[in-house]
Structure 1
Amino acid sequence: MKTIGIFFGTETGTTRLIAKKIQRKLGDEIAAKPLNVNRISVDDMLQYDALILGTPSYGVGAIPGRSAGCQEASWEEFLAKAGTPDFSGKRIAFFGLGAQERYAERFANSLFRLYEVFKGFGAEIVGNWSTEGYTFEHSASVEDGRFVGLVIDERTQGMLTNERLDAWLAEITPLLREKLGAPA
């Protein structure tokens, strides 16, 4: 498809709200309506050449899902049904939620787990993000000194969310649109 696919897993609804905010900022011509992974198949996702995937952090660095304590199906259940799809030729940017004060020792760890899975599926990953402005002890989602995607902390830094989204989208939108063959 010639739009960016936006997919998310959520537990409390915050990841869904961020996905909707991203879609509104990009606009209907550029981005498809965000979809919860507990309502789709992998074929729905594979229709897109450019994707934005979002996840909450849940459990101790686990892929969010029922075994991590989620009440509803999420990424864990989606991936269990997905098998080993081929995402080569797809370009993906990730965003993840976390609470740096409450979970400083494992801040936004689930983001890395999701990143790792899709990298293993052959996807090209874009959109890493600076750790500057965050305070935490450890995050598995830091690779080469940067987060593997945008990290949002609505609990303690909600006032920075729009600014961070705007800056991140300014970086990734041209890269995702390029994959669609659209002008940046």
Structure 2
Amino acid sequence: MNNTIVLYWPEGGAVDHSAYKIYSLLTPGTADIFNIEEVQPEKLMEYSFIIAGGSTVGSETWEEVSGNNQWILFLKKCKESGINLQGIKFAVFGLGDQILYPHHFVNDMAEIHKAFIAMGATPKGEWPSEGYRFSASRAHHDGKFVGLALDEVNEEEKSDERISNWIKQLI
């Protein structure tokens, strides 16, 4: 059994690419990677470290999201199953567009972060907000994001270095 699981959604595009970049920087043979549509909540208890990522949902709150947001569905299943992740560490990464959506840049990270804390997991991986251009984010507090913030639209050239430095901080 590997000790780290990388979970992500949506499949394809920048989140998928970032998740696989993160996975590729972990020690070979120590991690698994899954789109959240491929796992059940109980699978999380097989790991000592969870890395979870998604993208800004395109609305002010998750409650306003239309469509089939798999993170909402997965976290609801986690809550309903009553899984306890006490003793398991987690880190989140989120993708957003800080220019087009500066008022809710990477808000998804806050929702995922909050859900994992509610399940008893221990957070890691805060990331400094210095150098970003946004006006508000629920994933931001005290000069830091709750996890790694990526903007593949406006700062794609910074993503590889940010991911690499974040992974070094985590391991």
TM-score of the aligned structures, taking structure 2 as reference length: 0.91
Distance 2:157 2:146 in 1: 22
1:160-171 alignment, distance < 5 Å: 160-171=158-169
Instruction: Please name the residue that 1:58 is paired with.
Output: 57
Per the alignment, residue 46 of structure 1 pairs with 45
RMSD of equivalent CA atoms: 1.8
Q: Percent identity?
A: 28
Instruction: Note the C-alpha offset of 1:143.
Output: 1.9
Aligned with 1:54: secondary structure?
strand
State the 1:13 CA deviation.
2.8
| Residue 70 of structure 2 corresponds to residue 74 of structure 1 | yes
Q: Are residues 1:94 and 2:106 paired?
A: no
* CA positional deviation for 1:126: 0.3
Unaligned runs of 5+ in 2: none
TM-score, structure 1 as length reference: 0.85
Give how far 1:40 is off: 1.1
CA contact 2:5–2:50 (8 Å) conserved in 1: yes
- Write the distance in 2 (CA, Å) between the matches of 1:29 and 1:11: 22
User: 1:52 Cα deviation (Å)?
Assistant: 0.6
Shift of 1:169: 0.6
Distance in structure 2 (CA, Å) of the matches to 1:61 and 1:28:
38
1:6-17 counterparts in 2 under 5 A? Answer: 6-10=6-10, 13-17=13-17
CA distance in 2, matches of 1:136, 1:11: 26
Tell me how many residue pairs correspond in the alignment.
169
